[in-house]
Amino acid sequence: AQSVTQPDIHITVSEGASLELRCNYSYGATPYLFWYVQSPGQGLQLLLKYFSGDTLVQGIKGFEAEFKRSQSSFNLRKPSVHWSDAAEYFCAVGDLPNTGFQKLVFGTGTRLLVSP
């Protein structure tokens, strides 16, 4: 069955430092991969997604992610973190079960803390 693993429950980064959040997936076919962000008390917002083409994907708020099929990974990166980036980050894989409609399978999330 499809699954997503986010090995880091919490990560603390200094403001201005670079960030990498890890995501590994298990999926039999070509994966459709997503990163969503959840700010405190808010719903989820899409940062970026990959489904074909260039394996380096640019998203909103200065985020990017790289799809590496050989490592089954889709890590999220940002070169310089801002205090407003403190949030919960979710990696997800889009499954297309026999219903023909998308089903998102989420990882357990990584909480990003930004220190001054």
Partner 1 sequence: DTAVSQTPKYLVTQMGNDKSIKCEQNLGHDTMYWYKQDSKKFLKIMFSYNNKELIINETVPNRFSPKSPDKAHLNLHINSLELGDSAVYFCASSEISGGAEETQYFGPGTRLLVL
Judged by CB under 8 A, the stretch of 16-24, 57-65, 72-80, 95-103 that binds partner 1 is 95-103
Q: What does the DSSP 8-state code read for residue 7?
A: -
Q: Looking at 5, 62, 77, 94, which residue binds partner 1 (CB under 8 A)?
A: 94
Which tokens belong to 111?
A: 């909480």
> Taking CB under 8 A as the rule, does residue 95 contact partner 1?
yes
Q: What does the DSSP 8-state code read for residue 71?
A: G
| Binding string, residues 14-33; x marks residues near partner 1 by CB under 8 A | ------------------x-
- The amino acid occupying position 94 is G
Please tell me the count of residues contacting partner 1 according to CB under 8 A: 27
Which tokens belong to 12?
A: 């603390």
Distance between CA 80 and CA 102 in Å, rounded?
33
Judged by CB under 8 A, the stretch of 12-20, 61-69, 75-83, 91-99 that binds partner 1 is 91-99
Q: Strands, DSSP E only, in the chain?
A: 3-5, 10-14, 19-21, 24-26, 32-38, 44-50, 56-58, 64-68, 73-78, 87-95, 103-106, 110-115
Judged by CB under 8 A, the stretch of 13-21, 63-71, 79-87, 103-111 that binds partner 1 is 103-111
Residues in contact with partner 1 by the rule CB under 8 A: 32, 34, 36, 41-46, 49, 51, 88, 90, 94-97, 99-104, 106, 108-109, 111
